[in-house]
Amino acid sequence: MTAPESSPASNAAALAREIERRRTFAIISHPDAGKTTITEKLLLYGGAIQEAGSVTAKEGRSHTKSDWMTIEQQRGISISSSALTFEYQGRHINLLDTPGHQDFSEDTYRTLTAADSALMVLDGARGVQTQTEKLFAVCRNREIPILTFVNKMDRPSLDPFDLLAQVENVLKIVCVPLTWPIGDGPDFKGVYDLQTSQVLAFERTSGGKHRAPMQTSGLDDPRLDALVGADLAAKLREDIELIRGAMPEFDPAAFLSGELTPVFFGSAMNNFGVEHFLANFVELAPPPGPAETTLGERAPEAAFAGFIFKLQANMSRAHRDRTAFMRVMSGHFERGMDVTHTRTGRKLRLSQAHTLFAQDREKVEDAYPGDIVGLVNPGVFQIGDVISVDAKVQLPSFPRFTPETFATLALKDVGKRKAFMKGITQLAEEGVVQVFFPTDGARDPYLGAVGPLQFEVFQARLQEEYGVDVELNITSYGLVRWLAGDPSSVARFARHVEDDQGRPVMLFRSKYDLEYTAEQHPEIEFLPLPKDL
Ligand code: GDP
């Protein structure tokens, strides 16, 4: 006899099934490597959009669906992370969209805490770039598995052996190619699949808009010479022999612990190699695993818990509210369920839950571990907060980036002070900038950020979303330290401010000023920085 649908046994089985088919990942890459293009093609293969580009064509904009704010459109960069969801071969895939611009790294770092694996996209001609390195370091720190896609093989590219050697040397990760390119640039003929020993032939498609057809044949197939040319066929046979002889085999355990990356080659713009990657991805990438909490590891099969990894005010003109992005850590989430906000003990009913597909919102009824749910933030959520059906569970720590650049913010129309304070509180809550208040009675707050572009975004959003005009002046301060002790005696070389929790903070212009102050004021203790990644 089969158990009725609502029995605990069938619910547990359904939950296990949903967990097993979830794949939640993020793409890390240096700007311009092709992340947006790959995202679009993955959605195409996932059937989430009919034709790459069609989403955007509708409104005559040349952006993918994940770019949604005016300022992003003006600048052609995506600032905020959203989650794109699609199904492929029975798997439920959540792709966390991360901004590529370096000034938005804090947001990206946080988004990576919600991913179970990452796809590193490299430009075949450039290999590892600065932003790749930084983002890779975060993934490495979290020990999540990383897959690699070497893109733009239709352009003149680095020698693939050199490229893999570079990845290994710079990133200290073992590379195991699962496909191998045949030629590059105008001579790019396709890739050899090292697992199935087949050649996937490349065909240039018009505009890259349609699914690229694939032809296959083995390495010993005499037609290979005809397909790719005698020279490239000979080189391929040589390369493959070298790989089989000298390179390590793919080791799933080393991959899952982040020590080894499987490498794929292709051309996202031409739709080549993306579906092959996706088919491998769903097999290789892990489903959600246990989450670390203050109560120990929490299995995904445990009762419902989720954590907030991102806050965003004013997601769209149509929805001027604050959204909290929650990743389900464990259990079955149902809309309308009663949960505890574990930091405050407050009870919440989660009736305002929706999926986040850029500007479109759909009510979400159910979600499972690995899924991302947008919750309307009634003002209680902070980044790193947990909501759960059991009261005590919290995250051990949450990454925070240390600001490296500081600006003052002066209100132009003093009559707007209330809107100004609301704006800076809400936008700072998102964590893209930090706000510091002077302790000497001066009114203008300081903003701290990782890069100056964040200030411009902040300024534009204050204007657009809160109707407040401010003047921004970048200061010469470049170092921040939280401290213990009475700093009132320290006047020289430092600016004394408070953070939004009222904790004393000092801003310094240089390392020298910091060291000098520390020497002159042994009574003050400079606290270690919040754990940098
Ligand atoms: P992102 O900044 O990483 O999101 O990169 P984009 O996806 O926006 O791509 C940057 C540029 O590279 C765009 O002009 C793309 O059309 C182009 N591009 C992306 N993939 C390929 C590819 O496979 N081959 C070539 N030749 N160009 C590509």
Mean of the per-residue pLDDT values for the chain?
A: 82
The reply to whether ligand 1 has any atom less than 6 angstroms from the CB of 29 is yes
- Cα 401 to middle of ligand 1, angstroms: 29
Q: Which parts are annotated binding residues for GTP?
A: 29-36, 97-101, 151-154
What pLDDT was estimated at residue 336?
83
The reply to whether ligand 1 has any atom less than 6 angstroms from the CB of 100 is yes
> Three-state SS string across 328-362, please?
EEECCEECCEEEEECCCCEEEEECCEECCECCECC
d(Cα 306, Cα 372) in Å, to the nearest integer?
9
Specify which residues 447 forms β-bridges with: 407, 435
The reply to whether ligand 1 has any atom less than 6 angstroms from the CB of 152 is yes
Q: Ligand 1: which of 28, 36, 37, 152 to mutate, most ligand atoms within 8 Å of CB?
A: 37
The reply to whether ligand 1 has any atom less than 6 angstroms from the CB of 33 is yes
The 10s digit of each residue's pLDDT in 269-298 is 998 999 999 999 999 999 999 999 989 999
| 0.95 surpassed by pTM | no
Long-range contacts of 187-192 (CB under 8 A, 24+ apart): 187/229, 187/232, 188/153, 188/154, 188/267, 189/227, 189/228, 189/229, 189/232, 190/227, 190/228, 190/272, 191/153, 191/264, 191/265, 191/266, 191/273, 191/276, 192/219, 192/236, 192/240
The 10s digit of each residue's pLDDT in 448-476 is 987 787 888 889 889 988 999 999 999 99
Give, using CA atoms, the residue closest to atom 17 of ligand 1. Answer: 34
What pLDDT was estimated at residue 362?
56
- If pLDDT is split at 50, 70 and 90, which confidence band does 302 have? very high
Give the three-class secondary structure for 500: coil
Ligand 1 atom at shortest distance from the alpha carbon of 100: 2
Is residue 191 within 8 Å of residue 279, measured between CB atoms? no
In the block, which residue shows the tokens 């967990």? 19
What pLDDT was estimated at residue 353?
58
- Cα 373 to middle of ligand 1, angstroms: 29
The reply to whether ligand 1 has any atom less than 6 angstroms from the CB of 27 is no
Is residue 449 within 8 Å of residue 432, measured between CB atoms? yes
Ligand 1 atom at shortest distance from the alpha carbon of 267: 23
What is the DSSP code string of 199-220?
EEE----GGG-SPPP----BTT
The reply to whether ligand 1 has any atom less than 6 angstroms from the CB of 523 is no
Helix H or strand E encompassing 150: strand 146-151
The 10s digit of each residue's pLDDT in 60-106 is 333 444 444 444 444 433 334 467 888 899 999 999 877 655 555 56
What are the distances in angstroms from CA 239 to CA 183, 184, 232, 233? Answer: 11, 14, 10, 10
pLDDT over threshold 90, residue 14:
yes
d(Cα 327, Cα 81) in Å, to the nearest integer?
13
d(Cα 51, Cα 57) in Å, to the nearest integer?
10
pLDDT over threshold 80, residue 408:
yes
Least confident of 27-36, 325-334, 388-397: 388-397
Helix H or strand E encompassing 410: strand 405-411
- If pLDDT is split at 50, 70 and 90, which confidence band does 215 have? low
d(Cα 144, Cα 138) in Å, to the nearest integer?
9
- Cα 99 to middle of ligand 1, angstroms: 15
Number of H helices, E strands in the chain: 14, 29
Instruction: Determine phi and psi for 402, rounding to 5 degrees.
Output: -85, 125
Domains of the chain: 22-284 (3.40.50.300), 291-388 (3.40.50.300), 405-527 (3.30.70.3280)
The reply to whether ligand 1 has any atom less than 6 angstroms from the CB of 39 is no
What are the distances in angstroms from CA 24 to CA 135, 325, 327? Answer: 17, 14, 10
Helix H or strand E encompassing 84: strand 83-88
Give, using CA atoms, the residue closest to atom 14 of ligand 1. Answer: 32
Query: What number is the average pLDDT over the span 37-63?
Result: 56
d(Cα 440, Cα 416) in Å, to the nearest integer?
22
The 10s digit of each residue's pLDDT in 168-184 is 999 999 999 999 999 99
Query: What number is the average pLDDT over the span 504-515?
Result: 92
From 375, 359, 371, 456, select the one nearest 64 (Cα to Cα): 359
Beta pairing, strands 386-388 & 305-313: antiparallel
What pLDDT was estimated at residue 177?
98
The 10s digit of each residue's pLDDT in 111-135 is 888 999 999 999 999 999 988 898 8
Residue type, 516: Y
